[in-house]
């Protein structure tokens, strides 16, 4: 069975600082990996995805993530955050070729302070 661990439940940072949100997954098969963002009282919006190919994936709003198969990680990074990046971030994994249902981590609450 697949599982996702988001190592930090809360990450406070100052505006314009860099940030890394950590995600590790467990799976016995190949995977698709995703990062979603949820703003307060909103649905989930896809930030970026890894399906195959280049292990460095660029997404919206200046975010990027790197797939590391040997460390089973998919950490999310942004070099300089804004107040508007304050939100909850979810890492998710799915199994190619199956139902492709998403298995989510518990989420990381990113708070950007002025």
Distance of CA 75 to the CA centre of its chain: 6
Residue 81: phi and psi, rounded to 5, are -95, 160
* 25 makes contact with another protein (CB under 8 A): no
* 97 makes contact with another protein (CB under 8 A): yes
- Which has the closest alpha carbon to 90: 55, 69, 65, 58? 65
Instruction: Identify whether the C-beta of residue 89 lies closer than 8 Å to the C-beta of residue 106.
Output: no
* 40 makes contact with another protein (CB under 8 A): no
Please report which helix (H) or strand (E) contains residue 80, including its range: none
Q: Which stretch binds another protein (CB under 8 A): 13-21, 34-42, 57-65, 66-74?
A: 34-42
* 13 makes contact with another protein (CB under 8 A): no
Q: Would you say 29 or 70 has its CB closer to another protein?
A: 29
Contacts of 71 by beta carbon, 8 Å cutoff, 6+ apart:
24
CB of 1 to another protein, least distance (A): 11
* 58 makes contact with another protein (CB under 8 A): no
Q: Which stretch binds another protein (CB under 8 A): 22-30, 56-64, 70-78, 91-99?
A: 91-99
Tell me how far apart the alpha carbons of residues 105 and 48 are, in angstroms, rounded to a whole number. 15
Q: Would you say 97 or 114 has its CB closer to another protein?
A: 97
Instruction: Identify whether the C-beta of residue 114 lies closer than 8 Å to the C-beta of residue 83.
Output: yes
The binding site for another protein (CB under 8 A) comprises 32, 34, 36, 42-46, 49, 51, 90, 92, 96-107
């Amino acid at each position: 069975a697949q599982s996702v661990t988001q190592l930090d439940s809360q990450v406070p940072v100052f505006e314009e600082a860099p940030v890394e949100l950590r995600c590790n997954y467990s799976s016995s098969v190949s995977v698709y990996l995703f990062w979603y963002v949820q703003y307060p009282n909103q649905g989930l919006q896809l930030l970026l995805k890894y399906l195959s190919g280049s292990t460095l994936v660029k997404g919206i709003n200046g975010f990027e993530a790197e797939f590391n198969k040997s460390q089973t990680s998919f950490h999310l990074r942004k070099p300089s955050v804004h107040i508007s990046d304050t939100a909850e971030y979810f890492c998710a994994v799915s199994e190619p070729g199956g139902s492709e249902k998403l298995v989510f981590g518990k989420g990381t609450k990113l708070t950007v302070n002025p």
